[in-house]
Structure 1
Amino acid sequence: MTKMIHRGVGSWTIKDFISRLPDAVLGSIVSLLPTKDGARTQSVSRRWRPLWRSAPLNLVADRELMRKDQSSIGLIKKILSEHQGPGRHFSVFIYDRSNRVKGWLNSKALDNLQELELTYDRWLELKLPSSMYRFAPTLRVAKFSGCHFSNFIVQLSLKFPCLKQLTLDRVTISEDAFQSMLSGCSALESLELKAIFGFARLCISSQTLKSVGFCTDQRTERVPAQELVIEDTPCLERFLQLDPMYDRVTIRVISAPNLKILGVISDFITELHFGTTVFKKLIAVCLTTKIYTMRVLVLQSDGPNLDTVVNFLKCFPSLESLCVIFRSITWSLTDMDNVREYDPLDPIEFLELHLKKVVLKNYDGTRSACTNFAKFFVLNAKVLKEMKITLRYHRRDGWFARQRHLLQIRNRASKDAQIELKCGATDYFADNRHTHFSMADPFDGMPSRGCSKCSCGPF
């Protein structure tokens, strides 16, 4: 913080209060800056000159930097050899088969490293350097992409006592190594698994996990894991399927008594199990239990068929927030009209008591099936507070007035409900994935204002 102090007519002095802070505080500030900006603080003043070299190191060597020229590689080597402070964050993109990264990982500048990200180019398929494992006692955040794990983890029974966030992306690992690593993470809270190769059935048991993100990659020639089992996770609150368009998997939730957030559930899923309740393409084939803990749910479908969706949602009687993503091919391939009469003598609990928020994405109000789908929730969600609908294309002003009529906004079941339409780009959830962030609703990415090209907005 600086302050302008008046010293008389036409005279001002700039007072620098930030530089008066202790070295430990200034070092923490410097360590949070991007690598280039952190290094530049050495030129601020004589007071700041030694801080960057002694502050916790934040070093990012991304794809652009590593492929730029050899001088960039030399700069990384220079930083690691000269930096005197402890390591906080090290991220590097590996694009060739040289051994330089092994040497970097052994650098004293990375002692007690807290955050590590190693990303390998797709074609390399190299083993993770064994020197990485020296950070096991101190790592808090780790991401590994495009590499192979050896059974070194199993042989040494490595422990990661401080690790809270772990991402494995396009990783080849044996079942023994995966289980050994998971069991060694006694503080793990967030786990993201994207295209895991090496065995067919991923089984997760953890006493600390709160969030799991998962997807396969059916576009590769290699066969990723085809089944995910949530076996024993007493603290799990969020399960996120990250790429529903390409997942042909079976998901079994055996024990997750605190699961509150689920999505994106697609009709591409081979099977979805909750205990002894089984769904195939969102249709219950064995309905024995209801999940009362679920609060937030996201669905993606070509239809979606209103009857199928409502019957699916009956299994989550305490649901408070629902998001439905319509795929772009939705209405051209179906003849459904989605007309469903609500029977007050057969009430649906989540509609009567709990559903407060509905979000519809990629809405196409030119199709009656789409309009009827939205109207059902307008007319029957008794405690609804807000309904947000995004369109794929911009519309003329008269279109919104007609939608108000078609959706029967005046007859909405909840008079407090705020209903609005927004114009925007097609949304397939790719930008709403927040496995590692604690959010009440990780799927809530709706803009707060209408566009300037039309009169979209609240009704």
Structure 2
Amino acid sequence: MGTMSAIMRSILACVPPAQSSTSDGSLSADFSATSPCGGGEDRISRLPDVLLSDIVSRLPVKDAARTAAISPRWRSLRASTPLVLDDSDILPCSDDDDDDDDDYCFALTDWHALTDTVSRILAGHQGPFRCVRLTAVCNYAAARDGSALVRWLRLFAAKGVQDLVLVNFPNWPFKNNLPAEILSVASLRRLYLGLWNKFPDTEDLPRGAHVFPHLVELGFCRTDIKAKDLDRLLQCSPVLEKLALVSCYDTPRDVRVRSRSLRCVLFWMSIADALAVVVAPRLERLILWNECPGAGLEKNFRIRVKIGHAPKLKVLGYLEPCIHVLEIANTVIESGTKPSPLTTAPSVEILALRVRFGVRKEAKMLPTFLRCFPNVETLHVMSTEPDEPTGKLNFKFWQDVGPIECLQSHIKKVVFKNFRGNRSELAFLRFVVERARHLLNMVVVLADGDPSSEGRLVAKLKPLACSTKRANRDPKFTILVRNGGSSWSFRIASDLSLSDPFDC
């Protein structure tokens, strides 16, 4: 990603979207010709204040300000409506849909004037602040002595902001540290930070202090934070449910999750020596996605994924044998590790694996991983192609694999993504079909490519459906073949309303 616009898009793909509505539309009353003057009844103004206030809060900030010209009543509504501010709405090129002009727009922006505009909006609103999303102006406001950003943070604390996104973009030529005043914004329910050089030190925070007593969601996007500061934040956020680390490279190097409230951890395009779930009694989901463009990883780089006390962990993935070293209850899982209470996570019901079937050593880890999760009901497998194949496994290998509890007793659905028709992929699918006694649905998603190859790939799959050795004799068993790749994204993966975040 060489341009500012490309960098911005990668960050905005993960931070929460703006709450205001920027779609095309209009707000109008129903004017009829019944009045003597040819005008009609202003039905919108007859709506109750609470509904009109909600309408104003959903408008981009410039449009919301224009409502003050309608009447004194609307001016009063505007002043008392909780503030929703997205600085992209006040950029001079904010209405231009041409992405190629984004860099030009940034170059022409008067950042001093834009910073002053944001300052006037924040200082002039009586509060409360519902949502503030600053993804363009932070870099200028935090530069030099950072006085503007410090003032804003103090206003956020005083006026009770609930939803806050601060992205230091572009982070060139300034590498700005986040002011310590962020730790005083106790009203926050959601906080996302992007491209900050350093998160403030939490050493002076009193132990047990609830810095963020209402915080439910916390995200770090390419923002440096020390392990001790992350640990302290988790301890000071008693109702935190979702933690996201996005594009965080070795900061911290060892991520330790200790929280009584967390339900979901997302380790997204991030790198660390270890990701350890130490104590997380309410944790339901551990989402891993380790595609890290431009990270320059060494060939033998590994991330240790440790699962400690997480009795409610239900969703896990994508685990990758090529990069993840799995550890359960202080036992490192290696090829051939036998299942025992110290090597299994029985709570996991949805498991996702990402495997290079052309690398023999990695494919051989599949049976071992499956034995670690004896109660899996839905299995997702994503096939990826290796840069340097090292030998494939044939069906003879899978025939010699011993019993696997989840296949014998629990798996009902298997989703295989990026199917290319390789013999090693077919051998694994045949193994699953013949061993999974309760399998009802198998979904095979074809890899992106030439549509003309669809018939050939489907023909290769047909023998699976009528295998005479299939352990499952249920006539309802089906194999569904789908075109196209995965539409998986951070927002899908982080959506707790989805029962299966990998099913897309």
Name the TM-score class by shorter chain. 0.7 to 0.9
Name the CA distance, whole Å, in 2 between partners of 1:202 and 1:341: 36
Matched residues, number: 430
Instruction: Give deviations 1:71-96, integer Å, cap 9, x for gaps.
Output: 54443233223323310111213334
Distance 1:423 1:45, change over 3 A: farther
Which of these residues, 363, 380, 385, is aligned with residue 435 of structure 2? 380
Shift of 1:145: 2.0
Q: Does 1:51 align with 2:77?
A: yes
Query: Aligned equivalents of 2:352 and 2:134: distance in 1?
Result: 34
Q: Give the alignment of 1:303-452 within 5 angstroms.
A: 303=357, 307-329=364-386, 333-339=390-396, 348-365=404-421, 367-391=422-446, 392-396=448-452, 398-399=455-456, 401-409=458-466, 413=472, 414-425=474-485, 427=486, 429-430=488-489, 434-435=493-494, 437-445=496-504
Q: Secondary structure at the match of 1:384?
A: coil
**Given the superposition, is the C-alpha separation of residues 275 and 423 from structure 1 closer, same or farther in structure 2, using an over 3 Å criterion?**
same
Q: CA deviation at 1:189?
A: 0.7
Task: Report if the CA contact (8 A) 1:260-1:294 is conserved.
Answer: yes
With 405-414 and 115-124 compared, the bigger mean Cα shift is at 405-414
2:102 is aligned to none
Task: Spell out the pairing of 1:16-415 with structure 2 (5 A cutoff).
Answer: 19-36=45-62, 38-39=64-65, 41-42=67-68, 48-62=74-88, 65=91, 67=106, 69-70=109-110, 72-93=114-135, 94-96=138-140, 97-98=143-144, 99=146, 100-107=148-155, 111-121=159-169, 122-123=171-172, 124-135=174-185, 137-147=186-196, 148-152=198-202, 154-155=204-205, 158=209, 159-194=211-246, 195=248, 197=250, 200-215=253-268, 217=270, 225-243=272-290, 248-280=302-334, 283-285=335-337, 287-289=339-341, 290-303=344-357, 307-329=364-386, 333-339=390-396, 348-365=404-421, 367-391=422-446, 392-396=448-452, 398-399=455-456, 401-409=458-466, 413=472, 414-415=474-475
Check 1:331–1:131 CA distance in 2 against 1; reply closer, same or farther (3 A cut).
Answer: closer
Q: Secondary structure at the match of 1:106?
A: helix
CA contact (8 A) 1:164 1:190 kept: yes
SS class of match (1:213): strand
Larger mean Cα displacement after TM superposition, 71-80 or 266-275: 71-80
RMSD (CA atoms):
3.6
Cα separation, 2, equivalents of 1:92 and 1:207: 31
CA drift at 1:19: 4.6
1:198: how far off?
A: 5.4
Distance 2:323 2:267 in 1: 12
Letter in 1 for 2:264: S
Residues 67 and 75 of structure 2 are in contact (CA less than 8 Å); yes or no, is this contact kept in structure 1?
Answer: yes
CA distance in 1, matches of 2:187, 2:242: 17
Matched position secondary structure for 1:133: helix
Unaligned ranges ≥5, structure 1: 219-224, 446-459
Which has a greater percent of strand?
A: 1
Deviations 1:383-406 (A, max 9, x none): 223222222224336325513434
Q: TM-score, normalised by structure 1?
A: 0.80
Shift of 1:170: 2.4
SS at match of 1:126: coil
Q: Deviations over 1:351-382 (max 9, x none)?
A: 233212211111101x2212222233233333
Supply the distance in 2 between the matched residues of 1:109 and 1:51 (Cα, whole angstroms).
23
Instruction: State the alpha-carbon separation in 2 of the partners of residues 325 and 331 from structure 1.
Output: 18
Compute the displacement of 1:176 (Å). 3.4
Task: Kindly state the Cα deviation for residue 259 of structure 1 after the two structures are TM-superposed.
Answer: 0.6
Deviation at 1:294, TM superposition (A): 0.7
The letter for the 2-side match of 1:28 is D
| Bigger Cα displacement from structure 2, 228-237 vs 61-70 | 61-70
Whether the aligned pair in 1 keeps the contact of 2:398 and 2:428 (CA below 8 Å) is: no
SS in 2 for 1:325: strand
After TM superposition, the structure 1 stretch with the greater mean CA deviation from structure 2, 235-244 or 90-99, is 90-99
Are 1:114 and 1:138, in contact at CA under 8 Å, matched by a contact in 2? yes
C-alpha distance in structure 2 between counterparts of 1:108 and 1:165, whole Å? 17
| CA distance in 2: counterparts of 1:14 and 1:355, whole angstroms | 64
Preserved contact between residue 205 and residue 233 of structure 1 (Cα < 8 Å): yes
Secondary structure at the counterpart of residue 313 of structure 2: coil
- Asked whether the equivalents of residues 416 and 445 of structure 2 are also in contact (C-alpha less than 8 Å), the reply is yes
Identity, % of aligned pairs? 28
Instruction: Report the CA distance shift for 1:168/1:431 in structure 2 as closer, same or farther (over 3 A).
Output: closer
Instruction: Report the alpha carbon displacement of residue 248 of structure 1 after superposing the two structures with TM.
Output: 2.5
Asked if the contact 1:173–1:196 (Cα under 8 Å) also holds between the matched residues in 2, the reply is: no
Cα distance, 1:108–1:154 mapped onto 2, change above 3 Å: closer
TM-score, length-normalised on structure 2?
Answer: 0.74
Does the Cα contact within 8 Å between 2:203 and 2:229 map onto a contact in 1? yes
* Partner secondary structure for residue 373 of structure 2: coil
Where 1:172 maps in the other structure, the secondary structure is coil
**Using the alignment, how far apart are the partners of 2:41 and 2:403 within structure 1?**
68
1:449 corresponds in structure 2 to: none
Could you say which residue in structure 2 is the equivalent of 1:221? Answer: none
Alpha-carbon separation, structure 2, partners of 1:109 and 1:255? 35
Matched residue, 2:14: none
Query: Within 2, Cα distance between the matches of 1:151 and 1:167?
Result: 17
Q: How far has the Cα of 1:206 moved from its partner?
A: 1.0
Residues 422 and 270 (structure 1 numbering): CA distance in 2 closer, same or farther, change over 3 Å? Answer: closer
- Distance of 1:393 and 1:256 partners within structure 2: 40
The separation in 1 between residues aligned to 2:45 and 2:333, in whole angstroms, is 61
